Amino acid sequence: MSTVRDTYEAVIGLEVHAQLLTNTKQFCGCPTSFGAEPNTNVCPVCLGLPGALPVLNREAVSMAVRTALALGCAIRHRSVFARKNYFYPDLPKGYQISQFDQPFSERGALDIPLEGGGNKWVGITRVHLEEDAGKNLHGVAEVPGKSVIDLNRAGVPLMEIVGEPDLRGPTEAVAYLKRLRDVLVALEVNDGNLEEGSFRCDVNISVRKRGAAAFGTRVEIKNVNSFRHVHRAIEHETARLIAVAEAGETFRQHTRQWDDESGRTVFLREKEGSDDYRYFPEPDLPPLILEEAWVESLRSGLPELPEARRQRFMHDLKLPPYDTEVLTGHPKIGDFFEAVLQAKPGDAAWAKRAANFVMTEVLAEARVHGLEASFPAKPAQIVELLELVEAQTISGKQAKEVYAAIKNTDASPAAHVAEHGMAQVSDTASLEAVCRAEIEGNPKQAAAYRAGNAKMIGFFVGQVMKQTKGSANPSLVNDILKKLLA
């Protein structure tokens, strides 16, 4: 049954602010290191003292250009920095240096998977460079009841990635954010930590009747700091905006904030238009000129991007979409898997066996944080283990036992198997004796099998496995039993 809600659609565009992983700030040499004493990573430039002049960080430009290239953006070889003027205590200069009408890149796109299968391209309006503000702190122990400001973050390089309003619901929005984060992490330009605020998301959302061409009045939900919050905030706000539209109410464009505890958005402030910021070209910085040759050298130096790796896993290795998603979920997970693959390049059966083992065993205890990941075993150990299975020296079940014993150590799986006499029994003569004894000991079941109950073979295989404490090669046992029961 269709509801009123189904007659509307949400129109969503995301703005992501990503902190660039440079060693120094955007326009001065202060370190960007996290966790320093408040107001120690500062200098006249990032404090906004009169007469201090900004100098652009080449590393930040390189990271942002690589990102824009990875997102398929066109690069403008001449761009301009602009002052965005506003007053806020954490902004010592009284303006933020950003890019406005002449950003260094524009018109890219990002491919996202759709819920029901298939994919969709989401437009990227632009990627531009700007700088972070400081941080207001409330309720600090040393200064109770007061608000204080830490300017260590002021001037840290930020990259803003503005997406087109091409998203139509919370699931698409989260898929977009995850894909974008994967790209930034693969490029090693950002650590992708939403919770820690180094990857921040503003949600622009409006609703309109399905089929309508015009956009409804939009609201902006500021700084939503987890994928789950983005999903919930969009779900809630869509319902709220539809209710407002159905009631025939109008409102002005404004900014809201997601309150996860109450599960709703709350009014924050009237939205400033760009006129309110009185943008003008930054007089202390020359236009940014990106030489064609330099841009091309950055382009040719791009690593394989997550999407290309996904395509390769799916098409060359014939891995199912689920496995592909899991194994490309973080660049370091992909690297680990590829190291196991390298033992038998291009072997699809090996790839599937490796995928299963890595997903069920290794990833169960892998830790991923930012750009880093740690695993309980080394790829070489997994290769050795899977080779033992492939050679039928041990069974798949035994492989899990061996893995449990050798993980978090440098031990060799083959050595462990030898030491513990774990090699599966593939000695036909000794297995035949066990099989014969089981058939003689269970005449009723043997008769049932001979009378046509083929399933009874499972009973005998089980008995033999029990007798041999799981060390028999099950497919060999199966063959012997069939022969003896025939």
C-beta of 32: minimal distance to Zn ion in Å? 10
C-beta of 46: minimal distance to Zn ion in Å? 3
Residue-wise burial string across 84-103, b where 16 or more C-beta atoms lie within 10 A, e elsewhere: beeeeeebbbebbbbbbebb
- Is 235 within 8 Å of 170 (Cβ atoms)? yes
The footprint of Zn ion on residues 195-234 (CB under 5 A) is none
C-beta of 104: minimal distance to Zn ion in Å? 22
- Is 443 within 8 Å of 419 (Cβ atoms)? no
- Is 186 within 8 Å of 21 (Cβ atoms)? no
Hey, is 486 helix, strand or coil?
A: coil
Which residue lies nearer to Zn ion by CB, 151 or 245?
151
Which residue lies nearer to Zn ion by CB, 33 or 356?
33
DSSP string, 233-296: HHHHHHHHHHHHHHTT-----EEEEEETTTTEEEEEEEPPPGGGGT-EE-TTSPPEE--HHHHH
The footprint of Zn ion on residues 21-60 (CB under 5 A) is 28, 30, 43, 45-46
> Of 427, 424, 446, 447, which is closest to residue 436 (Cα–Cα)?
446
Hey, is 407 helix, strand or coil?
A: coil
Which residue lies nearer to Zn ion by CB, 46 or 245?
46
C-beta of 43: minimal distance to Zn ion in Å? 3
**Runs of H (alpha helix) within 135-204:** 170-186
Token digits for 218?
A: 């939009």
> Of 208, 216, 202, which is closest to residue 252 (Cα–Cα)?
216
C-beta of 214: minimal distance to Zn ion in Å? 46
C-beta of 61: minimal distance to Zn ion in Å? 17
Which residue lies nearer to Zn ion by CB, 24 or 393?
24
Which residue lies nearer to Zn ion by CB, 30 or 242?
30
> Of 213, 203, 118, which is closest to residue 167 (Cα–Cα)?
203
Token digits for 93?
A: 């200069």
Cα 243 to the chain's mean position, in Å?
A: 34
Query: CA-to-CA distance for 229 and 237, rounded, in angstroms?
Result: 12
Token digits for 289?
A: 């000129």
Which residue lies nearer to Zn ion by CB, 155 or 379?
155
C-beta of 57: minimal distance to Zn ion in Å? 11
Which residue lies nearer to Zn ion by CB, 32 or 265?
32
Q: How many CA atoms lie within 13 A of 307 on its CB side?
A: 19
The span of 20-28, 51-59, 121-129, 287-295 binding Zn ion (CB under 5 A) equals 20-28
Which residue lies nearer to Zn ion by CB, 14 or 60?
60
Query: CA-to-CA distance for 67 and 71, rounded, in angstroms?
Result: 6
C-beta of 127: minimal distance to Zn ion in Å? 24
C-beta of 311: minimal distance to Zn ion in Å? 43
Hey, is 417 helix, strand or coil?
A: helix
Which residue lies nearer to Zn ion by CB, 37 or 292?
37
How many residues sit in the footprint of Zn ion (CB under 5 A)? 5
C-beta of 28: minimal distance to Zn ion in Å? 3
Query: CA-to-CA distance for 407 and 316, rounded, in angstroms?
Result: 30
Which residue lies nearer to Zn ion by CB, 26 or 105?
26
C-beta of 200: minimal distance to Zn ion in Å? 21
Which residue lies nearer to Zn ion by CB, 151 or 167?
151
- Is 57 within 8 Å of 22 (Cβ atoms)? yes
Query: For binding to Zn ion (CB under 5 A), which residues are involved?
Result: 28, 30, 43, 45-46
